[in-house]
A and B are shown apart, each in its own frame.
Chain A
Amino acid sequence: MSDEREVRDHALSRIYREGAWPEPSRQIDQAILAASRRSARDRHPLLWRWAPPFAVAATVVLTSAIVLKAYREQPETVAPGAMEYARAKQSAPEPKAEAKPAPPTAPAPAPQTVTTPQGFTSTMDAGEAARLERAQQDIGFKDVTPPVANQAPAKAAPAAKAPPALKKEEPARADALQPQRRADAPQTPAAGGMLSVFGAQTPTATPPAPTPPAATQASRAVGKPATPFTQNAPQAAPPAPAGAPPQGQAPPAVPAEALKSRPEPTQAVIPGVGTVAAQVETRSPQAWLDDIRKLVKEGKSEEAGQEIARFKKRYPDYALPEDLR
């Protein structure tokens, strides 16, 4: 305290305070006070406390959204590992089998080469690829089970050249099937499009298997071909014959000789069904007759007559109804 008294001169201090007392200008005061208020408002402790977790949460949400969007648009380029995982998950046995699960002996799907006849490779995601694969297995595209002994339904299918998809995915298999195709297989554009997938898979020369009932096999073969690329393909291929006539009426067995001489399907289109070739492969005799009746009702008697003639050739033993005779 003595030091303080030694260096403090109260008389000098009084004289100093008699002098001018300049102060900062009002503009400086306003500028500084405005800055202080702005700082207190902008960086409020409550907001500042929640800013980091909020930023982290926003970053996670945005990143997830971007990744999901990019994955949906281009799954192959964004997450090939995720796609493989999805495939593995799809190929695993499902408790509720919407379609038949992939058999253990089925070949593993080639990654990123799933192709549709329409060329949707780049837009197909893992789920769609897995569904397509199951559908192909259902119709025998990739099935390893032996083919049926009865060759008639196989011949009924309009064999055509393998589509680009098949050539790309399994070139060796497509080449192996090439010489087995029938010489009289229809080469129409319609058959080479949707139905050609089935046609290319028709194993006409494969060894016979234990023979199920011929009628069942025939109806199976007739009922399946057009299903692979329809929306309800897996559901449309149950073990029971999809094309079997109602009330247990089995279609008459068709001799192989008769089928060999069967005319090729034409491109005549029946409304709501597709080409005649498709009808031949997909319809039961009863459905075929119903379509002929439609043609008659629509006044297309000439086409109806052609259809009746074709029907008679396909099913010579089938008794035509009275109204179509």
Chain B
Amino acid sequence: MGSGPADEELMLAYGGGDAEAFETLYRRHRGPLYRFLLRQVGEAAAEELFQDVWMRVIDSRERYQPRGKFSSWVFAIAHNRLMDHYRTSGRAKFLAQEESEEALDSLPSGDLPPEALLDRKRSAERLLAALARLPEAQREAFLLQQEADLSVEEIGAAMGVSRETAKSRLRYALAKLREELSRP
């Protein structure tokens, strides 16, 4: 995340009344958190959820206990807020959607084709389009890995699922994205 005090120290300092510590913390995580929300719910809802997540961080500054990574805690808040948003918008099917291991075997595996690596800009656009078509749980797991740099364990904790479930979602997400990029 860069040099300087750890996120947890900054959050504790902010709990002690240091507003500058929060500003540093915010600048570190504002981009990843915003993109995490933007890739899933669109710009309008992402701004609202983004503000709401940070206001919850501010409100809980006196109760904060560094039991894990600060980014895991913040993205867990974002996940919960995202679930509320899905429920209110009628997208609750996200909660029950899982795919079997057999289905994963049918997806292509291995490295990306060389042309995808050569034209990265165009490949990025195709990747984002493929990401938008992923199921919500797989997309969220992928975004937590890419934006928050969380491990499989931390992804499972943030999403409220087991480690194996988180791993499965990640594998599906990667396989489908590779398939999209491998198409001519």
Contact of B30 among A7, A20, A29, A31 (CB under 8 A): A29
Main secondary structure of the interface of B (DSSP, over half): helix
Beta-carbon contact of A22 and B26 below 8 Å: no
A23 CB-CB contact with B under 8 Å:
yes
Beta-carbon contact of B38 and A9 below 8 Å: no
Q: Nearest chain A CB to B183's CB is how many angstroms away?
A: 14
Chain A, 11-26, CB within 8 A of any chain B CB: 11-25
> Which one of A8, A12, A46 has the greatest number of beta carbons of chain B within 10 Å?
A12
Beta-carbon contact of B127 and A36 below 8 Å: no
B80 CB-CB contact with A under 8 Å:
no
Chain A residues whose C-beta falls within 8 Å of the C-beta of B23 in the assembled complex:
33, 36
Main secondary structure of the interface of A (DSSP, over half): helix
Beta-carbon contact of A40 and B111 below 8 Å: no
A194 to B5, CA, bound (A): 88
Chain B residues whose C-beta falls within 8 Å of the C-beta of A97 in the assembled complex:
none
Beta-carbon contact of B152 and A7 below 8 Å: yes
Contacts known (A25-B47, A33-B26, A45-B16); A19 close to B128, Cβ less than 8 A: yes
Contact of B22 among A11, A13, A40 (CB under 8 A): A40
Beta-carbon contact of B51 and A31 below 8 Å: yes
Chain B residues whose C-beta falls within 8 Å of the C-beta of A36 in the assembled complex:
14, 19, 22-23, 26, 54, 58
Chain B residues whose C-beta falls within 8 Å of the C-beta of A8 in the assembled complex:
145
Contact of A39 among B26, B61, B123, B167 (CB under 8 A): B61
A35 to B151, CA, bound (A): 31
Beta-carbon contact of A3 and B174 below 8 Å: no
Chain B residues whose C-beta falls within 8 Å of the C-beta of A29 in the assembled complex:
26, 30
Q: Nearest chain A CB to B16's CB is how many angstroms away?
A: 6
A297 CB-CB contact with B under 8 Å:
no
Say which one of B83-91, B93-101, B114-122 lies at the interface with A. B114-122
Beta-carbon contact of A22 and B58 below 8 Å: no
Contact of A28 among B22, B35, B50 (CB under 8 A): B50
Q: Nearest chain B CB to A61's CB is how many angstroms away?
A: 29
The residue of chain B having its C-beta at the shortest distance from the C-beta of A29 within the complex is B30
Beta-carbon contact of A13 and B146 below 8 Å: yes
Q: Please encode chain B, from 32 to 65, with 1 for each CB lying within 8 Å of some chain A CB and 0 for all others.
A: 0011001000000001001100110011011000
A28 to B116, CA, bound (A): 36
B112 CB-CB contact with A under 8 Å:
yes
Contact of B14 among A9, A14, A22, A40 (CB under 8 A): A40
Beta-carbon contact of B174 and A7 below 8 Å: yes
B9 CB-CB contact with A under 8 Å:
no
Beta-carbon contact of B167 and A24 below 8 Å: no
Q: Nearest chain B CB to A269's CB is how many angstroms away?
A: 78
The residue of chain A having its C-beta at the shortest distance from the C-beta of B172 within the complex is A7
A296 to B17, CA, bound (A): 89
Chain B residues whose C-beta falls within 8 Å of the C-beta of A17 in the assembled complex:
124, 146
Q: Nearest chain A CB to B57's CB is how many angstroms away?
A: 8
A325 CB-CB contact with B under 8 Å:
no
6 A-B pairs closest in CB distance: A19-B124, A18-B124, A7-B170, A18-B120, A40-B19, A36-B22
Interface residues of B (CB under 8 A from A): 14, 16-19, 22-23, 26, 30-31, 34-35, 38, 47, 50-51, 54-55, 58-59, 61-62, 111-112, 116-117, 120-121, 123-125, 127-128, 145-146, 151-152, 167, 170-171, 174, 177-178, 181
Could you show 21 A-B contacts with beta carbons less than 8 Å apart?
A7-B145, A8-B145, A11-B112, A11-B117, A12-B112, A15-B120, A15-B124, A16-B124, A19-B124, A19-B125, A20-B124, A25-B47, A29-B26, A32-B58, A33-B22, A35-B55, A40-B18, A40-B22, A43-B62, A45-B17, A45-B62
